């Protein structure tokens, strides 16, 4: 049986007391004790303009599952970012489906049911930016 575990460690002193959070999650199939068994593999994409691109297509995976998606802005420049969105367009905050922005070095791990595209666009067309991403997929049949 496959096992994939994600962990997150947060240490902060921005409040009047120190906060430490450490969480782990074993990625499992929908309503199962079995681990996720499929992956897209770690992919890297170079962006040289601000055109929105679907990095994960809904028709690649079975929908209504317990998929997890990892996305990282692999660029080192903290001033440039990617918009991350569901569906066909990733753009400024006027797009209702925009999840958020990933600045250089930022990353995210989100649950995904596989029923929408995940789209990104660079906020700049002046500098090349690199994005890495991976899908951990629940391959069980409906």
Q: How far is CA 28 from the centre of its chain?
A: 17
Asked if residue 91 is part of any domain, the answer here is: yes
Asked if residue 10 is part of any domain, the answer here is: no
- The sign of the CA dihedral 91, 94, 96, 100 is positive
Instruction: Give the residues across from 42 on adjacent strands.
Output: none
Whole-number Å distance between alpha carbons of 142 and 137: 14
Asked if residue 43 is part of any domain, the answer here is: yes
Asked if residue 62 is part of any domain, the answer here is: yes
Range of the domain at 99: 34-137
Distances (CA, A) of 104 to 6, 28, 29, 76, 83: 21, 30, 31, 5, 12
| Structure confidence at residue 64 (pLDDT) | 64
Asked if residue 4 is part of any domain, the answer here is: no
pTM of the model: 0.85
Give the domain CATH number at 86: 2.60.120.10
Quick: pLDDT tens for 52-97: 888 988 888 776 678 999 999 998 888 889 999 887 555 544 445 7
| Structure confidence at residue 63 (pLDDT) | 67
Asked if residue 18 is part of any domain, the answer here is: no
Asked if residue 11 is part of any domain, the answer here is: no
Q: How many domains does one find in the chain?
A: 1
Closest CA to 122 of 85, 88, 80, 93: 80
């Amino acid at each position: 049986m496959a096992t994939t575990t994600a962990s997150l460690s947060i240490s902060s002193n921005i409040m009047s007391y120190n906060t430490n959070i450490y969480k782990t999650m074993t990625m499992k199939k929908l309503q199962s004790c079995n681990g996720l068994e499929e992956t897209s593999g770690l992919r890297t994409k170079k962006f040289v303009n601000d055109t929105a691109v679907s990095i994960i297509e809904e028709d690649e995976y079975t929908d209504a599952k317990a998929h997890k998606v990892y996305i990282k802005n692999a660029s080192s420049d903290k001033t440039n970012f990617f918009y991350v969105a569901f569906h066909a367009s990733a753009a400024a905050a006027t797009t209702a489906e925009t999840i958020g922005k990933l600045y250089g070095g930022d990353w995210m791990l989100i649950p995904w049911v596989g029923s929408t595209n995940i789209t990104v666009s660079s906020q700049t067309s002046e500098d090349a930016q690199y994005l890495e991403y991976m899908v951990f997929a629940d391959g069980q049949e409906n």
